[in-house]
Structure 1
Amino acid sequence: MLHTLRLISFLTTFVFLSACSTLAVDVPLVYKIDIDQGNVLTQDMVNQLRPNMTKRQVIYVLGSPLLIDPFTTNRWDYVYSVQPGGEDRFEDRIALFFAGENLIHVEGNLTPALNPAPPPPTEMTIEAPKRELKKTLYEMIVGVFSFDDD
């Protein structure tokens, strides 16, 4: 009886281990996540930059800068780095230069387009045709009891 239980447990263990080894070959063992770092920068955001914008307006458009050099506060750096799961990393950089509180110059691999296309309209105008409205129930009841000649 004891030998039979050992044999059954050995065979059961063997079957489970062989099944696990075939699963390990078919299923990928490592999942690599996307890694985003820095300020999200898009061309649409950069196209909103204009000369003489104040620092506050720039923060409204792009967010707080990633780097502000404490020795030269007239330069702000924005960096956005993305590495999609296990692929090569790519980076967008932009440097903004200020004279006092006003933006004077933009450098980097994302620069404002000279004449960006206007954004597509989000509103639509529909003209409804005129129609004759029927009298409401209230108007019909009042009309029965009124002495107006219509």
Structure 2
Amino acid sequence: MRIALLSSTLLLLGGCSSLSLDSLPSLPSLPTITGDKVLGFITPYRVEVVQGNVITKELAGRIKPGMPKGVVRDMLGTPLLTDAFHADRWDYTFTIARQGAAPQKRVVVAVFDGDKLKALEAPDDLPTEREFVASINTYKPGGKPPRLDLDEAERSRLPKPAKSAEAAPTAAAEGVAPGRVYPPLEAKAEPRS
């Protein structure tokens, strides 16, 4: 029984390996696994790869020549590439490949003179924070976004909060907002005699 099962499995696998898309004249438009869709309707999962430091126009604008290396590292993050032979150069490389969004790659170079920043070399097409978020956002809502605030007419229709008669004097005596009573964090110390 095992031999029959093994033989049929090997025959099926051997048949699959001899099948190629070129040998199927009736299916010339059948995409491959490297395309966007397989068999025209299955989208394979692709890992989203984000590597490096996101540096926007606003962030690059805060970096000024003469800043120490430590401050630059605090603001931009640890550089993705540092070279032992070029200790005065830090490369901030950023790449992202996300389904439904165009892949991006940018390189920002910080050049130092000793411990002080000499120059920050950034590409001209460095995005703003809003542009960057919009470029990686693959969610496209169908309508307009929901409103998160209330106008005066909507606020007036809200039910008024009930005031607690016993909580208000205690809260006022403690200096806390009315309607909120919190227990003391520490016991009050008794005066020593």
TM-score (norm 2): 0.41
Map Cα deviations across residues 26-51 of structure 1 (whole Å, 9 max, x no partner).
96341334221112222222111011
Q: In structure 2, do the counterparts of structure 1 residues 80 and 110 end up closer, same or farther at CA, with 3 Å as the change threshold?
A: farther
Say whether residues 1:59 and 2:41 are aligned partners.
Answer: no
Paired residue for 2:147?
A: none
Matched position secondary structure for 2:58:
helix
Does the alignment pair 1:45 with 2:49? no
Q: 1:100 to 1:25 in 2, by over 3 A?
A: closer
Aligned to 1:78: 92
Residues 42, 50 of structure 1: CA spacing in aligned structure 2 closer, same or farther, 3 A cutoff? same
| Number of residue-to-residue matches in the alignment | 90
Which of 74, 82, 86 is equivalent to 1:68? 82
Letter of the 2:114 partner, please give it. G
Q: Among all aligned residue pairs of Structure 1 and Structure 2, give the percentage whose two residues are the same amino acid.
A: 29
Counterpart of 2:117 in structure 1 is 103
Q: Is the 8 A contact 1:39 1:80 kept in 2?
A: yes
Query: What amino acid maps onto 1:102 in structure 2?
Result: K
Q: TM-score, normalised by structure 1?
A: 0.51
8 Å CA contact 1:77–1:94 kept in 2: the answer is yes
CA shift digits 1:71-118 (9 cap, x unpaired): 121111100001121654211111111111000112131699xxxxxx
What corresponds to 2:20 in structure 1? none
Residue among 78, 102, 107 paired with 1:93: 107
In 2: Cα distance, 1:36 partner to 1:110 partner: 21
Aligned-residue Cα RMSD (Å) equals: 2.8
Q: Name the CA distance, whole Å, in 2 between partners of 1:33 and 1:67.
A: 23
Separation in 2 of the partners of 1:107 and 1:72? Answer: 16
The answer for the alignment partner of 2:35 in structure 1 is none
